[in-house]
Chains A and B, each alone.
Chain A
Amino acid sequence: MVKVVVIGGGWSGIAAALTAKSAGADVTILEKTDLLLGLGNVGGIMRNNGRFTGAEEIINLGAGELIDITDQASRHKNINFPGHNHASLYDVTKVEPMVRELLISKGINVEFEARAVDVSKEKNSITGIFMADGSHIKGDVFIETTGSTGPMGNCLRYGNGCSMCILRCPSFGPRVSISKRAGVEDLLGQRSDGSYGAFSGSCKISKDSLSREIVEKLDSEGVVVLPVPKEDINMDKLKMKVCQQYALKEYAENIVLLDTGFAKLMTIYYPIEKLRKIKGLEQARFEDPYSGGKGNSIRYLSMAPRNNCLKVDGLDNLLCAGEKAGLFVGHTEAISTGALAGHNSVRLSLGMPLLELPRTSIIGDIIAYENEMIKSPDGLRTRYTFAGGEYFARMKSLNLYTTDCDKIREKISRMGLKGIYKEKLV
């Protein structure tokens, strides 16, 4: 049996594990913390703008289990907030146990508190992963989904220091770039001023610390928009964040809160003193990152060069997905790339041609487009997401954006790819 080892248990790693399993592999996920989902434990935004199309493509390609979970766990569906339409907001406190149960039911082996630190290699093939405790895990094909966020030294050098985010590097140890350990240099995202990395784009406030009016409005409508006092408006902050889909004027002039179980504040960080000047937020405190008054995690410091099938360049048996595979933003994008990498891991082990999704699908297009764009400095300063910014504009101009589920189903069927991720290859 083919043994696939997935390094990193975030959304992309989980998606990769599921499709690798569906294709017939024996799958192990190595997760450095005690929770699956990584940053997905503090995210929550699905189906906004082009992500609706993306989610439906994932379902039709045969990897819909995770979309089913986020749909089921949604506190709000089909809501609008500045620049974004028909969003779903999943409850971040509910979704991890649901995903964990799904993986167990599928027979996927998950190793928790298992931090990968190095590789063993023979020529250009990885033979195994060395763990922080000195143990060695062998495999046939490896999928790196370690993300590009942190660790502490990077958050310090390129940000405002460790902000104590959900990744909890000080407790569970830092992320190590596996592709780099295998000899492939990382690619780095940049900000508009050319500096490396970008801040994560939101902070989570405890709802219990907000006024009753705000909580009631969040519970019923999912969104609260509050004006920022004029003297505290800071347009420059928009340039620092990863999520260019939220780098809009409205997000500097207003506080945008979304209900994901926490009150998700759509800004990189916000000093407590200033935050508490706003009506209803007089007692606000952060849940994630704990030091959201001061900083946030730094991302995009560790992408692997890869082809459009998500195989890492220069290595025979390493694939990648999620932020490791490019300057992608969001859960939907992570699941999209993860599912393809997982499916291709089994093809790779069998010597079959790898699947490259056609560019008439938005998943195929964003993977290929990002790969073209990052060859230029400007491309390294851009983020790629179905939810907004440059890529959503491209989707619309290419007529790829639709919320018509039937149309998306027909399109995937016409490509001959309906349910392809469900096909057992071994």
Chain B
Amino acid sequence: MAYESIDCIDAGTEYCPCYLAETNDCIICSQLQGKEFCDCINWKGVCIYQEYIWNSSKKEDIRKGYSADILEKKLINDNALYLKLKVTRTLSRELNHPGAYIFLKSESHPYFFDVPMSIMDSDEINETIDLLIEIIGAKTKVISKIDDKLIVRGPYWNGVLGIKNLKVVKNSNCLIIARGVSQAPAVIVAKKLCFSGNRVTVLLDPGKSNTDISREYFESMGCTVLDTKLLDGRKLDDEASKQIRNIIGEKNMKFIFSSGSDLLHKGIINIKNDIDKSILFSCTNNSNICCGEGICGSCIVRLNDNRKIKSCKAQVSPEDLFGEG
């Protein structure tokens, strides 16, 4: 396995240093992991130790909860809910990034009803965010009943793994493979890719969400959208595999974004590596996100080399997580 440093998505932001610095569990800095000397293998351009000391050895302020008006609500079907929320200009700007997500809950429910939700689109001018929510459990069922206001906590950013690959690809052909409710984060990924002059093809499968609401977003950006049935039970559909293989070859794809389950990610990584390992790859982060701050431990995953990471904050290459090792 190639050497891959672990990055923290929050390093150098206004939310860094965080609680993890106070408890000597910083993802980046050896001095803030309880060691006495620098060992900056994961350097991110700022000295977090210095930020911490200059901040009187305290964390920065944590993310706030905002009350957000529901501007538009559409119950697409029994499983899928579309929401447009009014947020602040700053928050809409901060959420206008691939991988951005928020925590959402009703005003009247306690904190443990917080549910992480990917941003489908963010409009900085009108200060709105668009969400696609799969109604699946207690928390999302409660949200589906609310009509006026929700509490939004954010911004959070680690909804996409391998984000550096997404940032470097320019003026190339790119493939997005999206299924179910994961079509939502794919929209903002497509936005970034189009902004960098890429030509984007989307293979879209409504999956369990039973909607293709993202289609109009993709098409408005000039993406080509192809309907595809991606999964066959617990594996990649044979026809879909062939289609993916052909399209990568025909269009000389330089970048692939897998927006779906871990099964989908693994299947696509295998196809990609079969064709050309150098094709860049990113995917959605499907970990169980609970607090988003690296504290609760629900998001911990093990990489191929046995290292454990807190995936709500830590950026790694998807292939270190899903690849063959």
A residues whose Cβ falls under 8 Å from a Cβ of B:
115, 117-118, 120, 130, 132, 134, 136, 150-154, 156-157, 161-162, 169-170, 173-177, 180-181, 186, 196, 301-302
Contacts and interface: CB of A to CB of B under 8 A. Distances in A.
Interface stretch (B33-41, B68-76, B139-147, B187-195): B33-41
Given A157-B31, A176-B40, A180-B39, A170 B47 contact: yes
Contacts of A151: 38, 40, 47
B47 A156 contact: yes
A10 B39 CA distance: 20
Contacts of B2: 134, 136
Nearest to A171: B45
A196 B45 CA distance: 25
Contacts of B37: 153-154, 157, 186, 301-302
Nearest to A119: B3
A150 to B, nearest CB: 7
A229 B313 CA distance: 54
A186 B30 CA distance: 15
Contacts of A196: 36
Main secondary structure of the interface of B (DSSP, over half): loop
Nearest to A150: B38
5 contacts: A118-B3, A134-B2, A134-B3, A153-B37, A181-B41
Contacts of A120: 3
B50 interface: yes
B281 to A, nearest CB: 14
B47 to A, nearest CB: 4
Given A120-B3, A134-B3, A153-B29, A176 B39 contact: yes
A153 B50 contact: yes
Given A180-B39, A301-B37, A302-B37, A162 B47 contact: yes
Given A152-B50, A153-B47, 10 more contacts: A117-B40, A118-B3, A156-B50, A156-B53, A157-B31, A157-B36, A157-B49, A162-B50, A181-B39, A186-B37
Contacts of A175: 38, 40
B138 interface: no
Contact of A152 (B3, B36, B39, B49): B49
Given A117-B5, A120-B3, A153-B29, A161 B50 contact: yes
Contacts of B31: 153, 157
Interface string B1-34: 0111100000000000000000000000111000
Contacts of A132: 5, 43
